[in-house]
Chain A
């Protein structure tokens, strides 16, 4: 089983003529449906649907309220290594970049865990680059065990693993995983992934379902918006989520919406940009297509923007993030970050902004029961 046949199905789909044929009437019809088909979803992603953004926002708000209430799940990322064998043209951890490489020892992970736990955060996401020789399975399992002593929920954002490896991590206390396909456009995928195992599109594409097979309770997907035509990538992300939620009924599927921000790219210039208006269109279209899916918005987005989109469908926020290795226990060291964060507020400040809007920041929504 794989999502790939569905990717293939749309590989030669003529998106622009589909968008050309979308009328205000078809947008209205798709908007009115309780259950949206793939074509309804694509209709709402069309440039034409941007003219109906307010209506989309109202419906997205209503559905989010219904399924998630006035709550936002909080989590914090912890990079435990930036060693990477991949050559992703857009990433500062690219193996060719002459940056200081660092992998935390288990003792250092524990010190970071203590510092993070002190902020009140109870859900942690730990990340590495793709370098199995430097961060092998036994290291990852020990890292997970260590973090589980400090956090109610431990999630991973690692290189793709085998089913059995995901299972080992689940046994060590990991309950969910994030993995971004980056882009579902195979041609662009090959062009920007120039070295390492990440060049294997299929190996990565099938990782979320391997995690689901291994019994992780939640998987979180995403396309890095801007690498390829964003409407198409977001469409494929939504279909991927629907494929997973239908194939693995017991897995919660959520989606992140990472986009390039202008400051961060270094020498890499993405072919596309996603402005705020389009971002909101994407987010609300996803909510209408997948009413129960969590939507994650990271600190790539500005504080002001994150405060605004709370009511439009976002349900998971990271906060106080460091995207360098470690960085919570001692943030004095100069180091390279995987991407620039824009919302630099503390956990308390983000929580206060959420509370000000009449929403409740949720720190703990999981436990050791598996």
Chain B
């Protein structure tokens, strides 16, 4: 397991739980949650960043060493997402960007077309682009071609806590994408995070379930354990499969005789 690190955008992540900064009852909970969960990447909506807020600026609560993943929440089209990404970079938030283009405020479904357009532009500008999408294999392949660093399919609608409702579609992405697949949105319980990792997801991003727990710190720890367990199970199953493949098959053994 010690060699099982995730390489993304030129960085190495030994923890596969990505987290978010939204919905906390107080920003002071964020560094505690990060320490408890071990999460090494956290997303923050640029619309929430207020450089004039001094110590209350949300960025002041994210410890050095944790990769900042600014997101384009609030963007309604590719052009706006691109603009937010550039502002984020100019504001010193780094090269990572989660593209979130939402034109449906009722279910908060991502707009895959606009997301692809924004990815094409930003990848060329050297951003480490993590697009948040509805799981769709042809789209994921287009994102890959466009230079996305990973693809982030939703398990179910943002904040719904309904788990992996899109499981079969995510499985297609996991089987066929060369870039990492990070399950983002809808994971409401540690067991669902474990399930995503068992399936072979490279990482998960969890915000609502941690931030709105009565004890976000303890919930962060629980998700860390679940993600590790799921990942371990995935790796163990791979090993198991390879053993099976080497064994001779009694069902067809007669054909050799």
Total inter-chain residue pairs, C-beta < 8 Å: 83
Minimum Cβ distance to chain B for residue A221 (Å): 14
Rounded to whole angstroms, the CA-CA distance of A327 and B162 in the bound complex is 48
Asked whether, in the complex, the Cβ of B105 is within 8 Å of the Cβ of A292, the reply is yes
Given A70-B212, A250-B104, A364-B75 contact (CB < 8 Å): no
Decide if B104 touches A66 in the complex (CB within 8 Å): no
B50 touches A363 (CB 8 A): yes
Cβ of B185 to closest chain A Cβ, rounded Å: 13
> Does residue A139 face the partner (Cβ distance < 8 Å to B)?
no
Contact with B along A131-170 (1 / 0, CB 8 A): 0000000000000000000001000000000000000000
26 CB contacts below 8 A, A to B, read A66-B159, A66-B208, A66-B212, A68-B23, A69-B22, A69-B24, A69-B25, A69-B211, A70-B211, A70-B212, A71-B22, A71-B25, A122-B50, A217-B74, A217-B76, A249-B103, A250-B76, A250-B104, A250-B105, A292-B105, A358-B25, A364-B47, A364-B49, A365-B47, A369-B74, A369-B87
Shortest Cβ distance from B51 into A: residue? A364
B256 → chain A closest CB, angstroms: 57
Which 5 A-B pairs give the minimum distances between C-beta atoms? A69-B23, A70-B25, A364-B50, A249-B104, A250-B103
Check if A91 is an interface residue, CB within 8 A of chain B: no
- The count of chain B contact residues (Cβ–Cβ below 8 Å) is 31
Is A67 part of the binding interface, using a Cβ–Cβ cutoff of 8 Å? Answer: yes
**Bound-state Cα–Cα, A245 to B104, Å:** 9
With a 10 A CB-CB cut-off, give which of B47, B75, B108, B160 has the most chain A CB atoms: B47
In residues 96-123 of chain B, which contact A (Cβ within 8 Å)? 103-106, 108
With a cutoff of 8 Å between Cβ atoms, the chain A residues found around residue B23 in the complex are 68-71
Considering only CB atoms, which chain B residue lies closest to A246 in the complex?
B106
Chain B residues, Cβ within 8 Å of A246: 106
Q: Which residues of A contact B (CB under 8 A)?
A: 65-71, 120, 122, 152, 217, 245-246, 249-253, 292, 355, 358-360, 362-367, 369-370
Q: What is the interface of chain B, defined by CB distance below 8 A to chain A? A: 22-27, 45-50, 53, 74-76, 80, 83-84, 87, 103-106, 108, 159-161, 208, 211-212
Docked complex Cα distance between A360 and B48 (Å): 13
Complex: chain B residue closest to A369, CB-CB: B80
The verdict on A360 contacting B27 (CB below 8 Å), with A66-B208, A366-B47, A366-B74 known, is yes
Check B26 against A358 for contact (C-beta < 8 Å): yes
A250-B103, A360-B25 are known; give 15 further A-B pairs, CB within 8 A.
Answer: A69-B22, A69-B23, A70-B26, A122-B50, A245-B105, A249-B104, A250-B105, A251-B105, A253-B105, A292-B105, A292-B108, A365-B47, A366-B47, A367-B87, A369-B84
Which chain A residues lie closer than 8 Å to B74 at the CB level?
217, 366-367, 369
* Chain A residues within an 8 Å CB radius of B76: 217, 250, 370
Partner of B26, one of A152, A251, A292, A360: A360
Q: Which residue of A lies closest to B207 (CB)?
A: A69
**Contact call A69/B208, Cβ cutoff below 8 A:** yes
Please, which residues of chain B bring their CB within 8 A of the CB of A370? 76, 80
Nearest A residue to B82, CB-CB = A369
Shortest distance from the beta carbon of B82 to any chain A beta carbon, whole Å: 10
Q: Which of A251, A355, A360, A367 has the most CB of B within 10 A?
A: A367
Q: Which of A217, A359, A365 contacts B25 (CB 8 A)?
A: A359
Residue of A nearest to B45 (CB): A365
Residue pair B161, A369 in contact (C-beta under 8 Å): no
How many Å from the CB of A116 to the closest CB on chain B?
14
Contact partner, B50, options A71, A152, A217, A360, Cβ 8 Å: A152
Q: List A contacts of B106 (CB < 8 A).
A: 245-246, 249, 292
Find the B residue at minimum CB distance from A367. B47
Output the least CB separation between A159 and chain B (Å): 26
* Pick from B84, B105, B161: contact of A252, CB under 8 Å: B105
Report chain A residues within 8 Å CB of B53.
Answer: 120, 363-364
Which one of B87, B159, B208 has the highest number of Cβ atoms from chain A below 10 Å of its Cβ?
A: B159
Q: Who on chain B is nearest to A355 by CB?
A: B26
* Docked complex Cα distance between A122 and B53 (Å): 10
A365 touches which of B48, B80, B161, B212 (Cβ 8 Å)? B48
Are B50 and A369 interface neighbours, CB within 8 A? no
Pick from B26, B45, B103 the residue with the most CB of A within 10 Å.
B26
Question: A369 and B48: CB pair below 8 A?
Answer: no
Residues on B with C-beta less than 8 A from A66 are 159-161, 208, 212
Quote the shortest CB–CB distance from A250 to chain B (angstroms).
Answer: 4
A364 and B74 CA atoms in complex are apart in Å by: 13
